[in-house]
Structure 1
Amino acid sequence: MTTFPTLDAWLTHLESAHTVGIDLGSQRISQVRDALQVSFDCPVITVGGTNGKSSTCAILEAILLRAGYRVGCHTSPHLLAFNERARVNGAITSDADLLPHFEAVEAARLSLSEPVLLTYFEFTTLAIMHLFASRRLDAVIFEVGLGGRLDAVNILDTDCAIITSIDIDHTEYLGDTREKIGFEKAGIFRATKPAICADPVPPQTLIDHAGQIGADLWLFGRDFRYEGQAGSERQQWSYVGRTLRRSALAYPALRGANQLINTSAALAALETLRDRLPVSAQDIRLGLANVELPGRFQVLPGKPSIVLDVGHNPHAAAVLKQNLGNMGYFPYTYAVFGSMQDKDIAGVIKHMKAEVDHWCVTDLPTPRAASAQTVEAALREAGLTDGADSSVTRFASPADAYQDALKRASENDRIVVFGSFYTVAGVMAYRKSQQH
């Protein structure tokens, strides 16, 4: 059996050895799950959607931890280290915690009469499932990687499925309309189990699929909603569900206009599971006050104002634009921006161009990225010109682009680092290196 002494060696091996691409089908991974004998006695919550998945997972996790439960939370992708994908009781797992579970997945894979190939995401998700299953937890939360129906996370039978939002992304795998994508995402729903959809305008395909399989569909605006005044930091808001009302809640510590929808979806999930995972109003208040998630409209302290946001599709860019607009006046805004080539770059620019004056566009350290040249061409196409009040400059790395923006920005200006996870991670890694 192949085995490796370090987590990094495992991950490097998986990146190169298991290049099945995204093989659409869950049969292979289900065989390995059965060989591993992965199962959970505690409630399993799965979270899918286009944007807002990680925020919703973090909100659920924070509330459940405050209520004293032992919680496993899986999110992806990671920003700086793979270990961020697996948290147990709020703490990021160590390499030593993860290694035995990588070995267990490999042993289970090889134990099959015909060993199957697993993608990087499938292998690592199984390892994290195996880790959580070994820890006697009270609740586990799994973020879906891509779509839903054919995703690795969907081999678990969920006790409550949440879909945060549905927009056009990953069209080569999921389809090119919200109806097609909605059907793929609804694949995480289960018969008779709560199926929560936080998208205010859900595609009919999602509603139909929930009806066909007999899932208990909770729709935003019909079965649950929030009331209260968005926009004011000191305002309170209320959650209204089918049988529960939670009043006088503070805004979540995660900033941004869309976080009340994400929080409402999390509270709807907890309402459906209240017999097994009861939480008090105080648990919710403390959870919301303490929830943290790097890179999601994260405003760093100090001047110039620096915002980190992993928004990389038009839907996320529209939300980012709204959040930036709510921040008040800045003479100039500098953007550090890099993107994957399969993203709708023109659609992202369309939303952001009114908010950004100077664009520092960057290459990214992955073959899937669009080159800085391609991004610049899209900006020029959108009408961006160079002058005292606007510019487009190309850089070889997010760190180089960020340093240039820092040099040029005055302390009253603003720097927005957004786009791919690689863009935000590159700047976070550079900032960390400067702190030592």
Structure 2
Amino acid sequence: MFQKIEQCTDFIFRLKASEYKGEPLQSAHIILNVLGNPEQKTKFIHFAGSNGKGSTLNAVREILMEHGLTVGAFISPHLERANERVTVNKQPISDADFLRIANMLARIIEEKLDGKFPSFFEFMTLIALQYFSEQQLDVALLETGIGGRLDSTNVVTPEVSVITTISLEHTDMLGGTYAEIASEKAGIIKTMKPVVVGVKNTEALAVIKETATNLCASIYTLGEQFYVEKKTGADFDYISNMKIENIELAMVGDHQISNAALAITAANLFLPAMDAQKVKNALQKAKWEGRFEQVRHNIILDGAHNSEGTAALIDTLKKTAPHKKVKFVYAALQDKDHAISIELMDEAATEMHFTEIGLPRAATAEQLFEQSKHANKFCHKNWKQLLDEEMERLADDELFVITGSLYFIAEVRSLFVKRGWIE
């Protein structure tokens, strides 16, 4: 059994692929059954989508907390410590509770699964579900990892499901078309439980609507059952069965307005008697680290890990810093289609810098570099050296935009925290 938290996390971080070869979710159900089905003791709101699910979850959390609710959240990835993935009212699970539940799971795995551990993400999901069942929560918010139908979080029956966006990502696992990927994400929709949808792609939206209809699940789609009206500046109005005017966000970008609208709708379905002013107060506080996060005055961190996210990032840069020259730094995992993202950045950049992170699934700097057609492109094996050298010579009219995998953003952000650049 694990004696120290570092021993525990070092071990579970290595669980990249499941050793348990049973049916999908089978190991989770076996373990949960032994635990007394903790997933049945908590109310949930479940989030899936290619982009925006983390920001939307965070906004829902702020709204519900502003109304006095005790809110659990399971998110990924973490930025510094695995504990950040499991929180209650934004406070991470303690080392003692993490270690206690991890050892509880390890004993069950030894006895019931012949010691064949499930994946890291599934293990973390089980820690979260057990921990939430022990707390006096009003609701827990769950963010899927990949997909939805076979995701380890899909052992719950939520009060509300949320599907933010659909883009062509993880095509080796989820399918090569919008319809196939939408079918996997729509797997979180449950019978007679409402679903909130921000998906714009017509092919994907049709699949989600059909799934909802087949399950007698009420569907609330942005632009159909609820709307946003942009005001001058960054303010917007939210319109549905309730109207909230002049909402200001802590997050910038049109995509964040969409995320906020999804969050208001999901929160309102869970808590019908919402106060408009409390919603506005909450959204002014709803910041999400690593998503268009400004460091100093000329460095932006943004986990734009697919083409849809990259397009939103570039659109936000054009609107917030139209006269700045942009230098991109990009590192990513192999299981993504980088070509479109790199093409979009090539068009917007004055310089392109490619680097890599020390993960087994990481794309090499050379692999990314070769996909760029930019006249001023550079390849770096050591991202820390790259940042030190390039930030030293950054001009006043330039922006340094660090983007790609959220795992890369987490590592960079951790370095900036140590340097005192981020509190």
Say yes or no: TM over 0.5: yes
1:18 CA displacement:
7.0
Q: How far off is 1:17 after superposition?
A: 5.5
Answer whether contact 1:18 1:117 (CA < 8 A) is retained. Answer: no
Deviation digits for residues 25-75 of structure 1, max 9, x if unmatched?
A: 112211111111213545310000000010011000111111111110111
* Equivalent of 2:334 in 335, 341, 351: 341
Q: How does 1:267-416 map to 2 (within 5 A)?
A: 267-275=264-272, 278-302=273-297, 305-379=298-372, 382=373, 384-385=374-375, 391-416=376-401
Matched position secondary structure for 2:368: helix
Deviation at 1:115, TM superposition (A): 6.2
Percentage identity across aligned positions?
A: 26
Check whether the contact 1:345–1:375 (CA below 8 A) recurs between aligned residues. yes
Following superposition of structure 1 onto structure 2, how do residues 138-157 of structure 1 map, counting pairs within 5 Å? Answer: 138-157=138-157
Deviation, 1:430, is 2.2
Partner of 1:34: 33
Closer/same/farther in 2, CA of residues 63 and 40 from structure 1, 3 Å limit: farther
2:233: which partner in 1?
232
Q: For 1:103, what is the secondary structure of its paired residue?
A: helix
The one-letter code sitting in structure 1 at the alignment partner of 2:8 is W
Residue 215 of structure 1: aligned partner: 217
Letter in 1 for 2:27: R
1:358-413 deviation line (CA, Å, top 9, x unaligned):
1221121112111111111111xx2x22xxxxx22222233222112202211231
What is aligned with 1:161? 161
Alignment length (residue pairs): 417
Once the two structures are superposed, residues 265-302 of structure 1 have per-residue CA deviations (whole angstroms, 9 ceiling, x without a partner) of 11111222225xx4311221111011121111112243
Question: Residues 17 and 139 of structure 1: is their aligned pair in 2 closer, same or farther, counting only changes over 3 Å?
Answer: closer
Superposed CA RMSD: 2.0
Q: Report if aligned partners of 1:334, 1:409 keep a CA contact under 8 Å in 2.
A: no
Letter in 2 for 1:206: I
Paired residues for 1:227-266 under 5 Å: 227-229=229-231, 232-233=233-234, 235=235, 237-241=236-240, 244-266=241-263
Matched position secondary structure for 2:320: coil
Confirm or deny: 8 A CA contact 1:148 1:187 kept in the other structure.
yes
User: Could you tell me whether the CA contact under 8 Å between 1:362 and 1:398 is conserved in 2?
Assistant: yes
Amino acid at match of 1:135: Q
- List runs of 5+ in structure 2 lacking aligned partners: none
Normalising by structure 2, what TM-score?
Answer: 0.93
Pick closer, same or farther for the CA change 1:404–1:422 going to 2, 3 Å. Answer: farther
Kept in 1, the 8 Å contact 2:42–2:133? The answer is no
In structure 1, stretches of 5+ residues that fail to align are 386-390
Query: Residue deviations 1:46-105, cap 9 Å, x none?
Result: 000000010011000111111111110111111222122112112223322311111222
Q: Note if contact 1:160-1:195 (Cα within 8 Å) is conserved in structure 2.
A: yes
Deviation at 1:330, TM superposition (A): 4.0
**If the length of structure 1 is used for normalisation, what is the TM-score?**
0.90
Contact 1:251 1:260 in 2 (8 A): no
Aligned-pair CA distance for 1:201: 3.2
